[in-house]
């Protein structure tokens, strides 16, 4: 049975999709852009946006009953690969254990709301 994830701690979906899905013991988050769910604001810098995107991923994963330690794979979409090192610095503050998730990072031409970053994750619910 597939169960949609819904939380007020992450931005609401801006289209016909769920914030995430629980499928058995797997959790799939939709791509989380850096919109602050409290006020709809978006930070100006890549560091601010990376932090908010990761906070949103964390909120969806936690709403599904897991933690960031349960994340096994992430995909990071960034507007400019020149931001890679700065994104890594922020990312490392969220994922810093001995078992780091697998990850892909790709540069994209454009993201929803013209943000600089979007992050999605897959986690295992234990």
- Catalytic (active site) residue 23: no
Q: Are 37 and 10 in contact (CB under 8 A)?
A: yes
Q: Are 101 and 57 in contact (CB under 8 A)?
A: no
Which residues does 72 contact at the CB level (< 8 Å), separation at least 6?
Answer: 101, 102, 122, 123, 124
* Marked catalytic residue, from 105, 106, 119, 125: 105
Which residues does 109 contact at the CB level (< 8 Å), separation at least 6?
Answer: none
Q: Coil, strand or helix: which one is 37?
A: coil
Q: Mind telling me the catalytic residues?
A: 105
């Amino acid at each position: 049975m597939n169960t949609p994830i819904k939380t007020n701690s992450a931005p609401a979906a801006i289209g016909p999709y769920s914030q995430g899905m629980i499928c058995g013991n797997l959790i799939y988050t939709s791509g989380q852009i850096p919109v602050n769910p409290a006020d709809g604001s978006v930070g100006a810098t890549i560091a601010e946006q990376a932090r908010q995107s990761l906070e949103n991923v964390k909120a969806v994963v936690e709403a599904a009953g897991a933690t960031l330690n349960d994340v096994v794979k992430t995909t990071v979409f960034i507007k400019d690969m020149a931001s890679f090192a700065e994104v890594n610095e922020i990312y490392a503050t969220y994922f810093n254990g001995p078992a780091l998730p697998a990850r892909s990072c790709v540069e994209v031409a454009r993201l929803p709301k013209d943000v600089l970053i979007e992050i999605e994750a897959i986690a295992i619910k234990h």
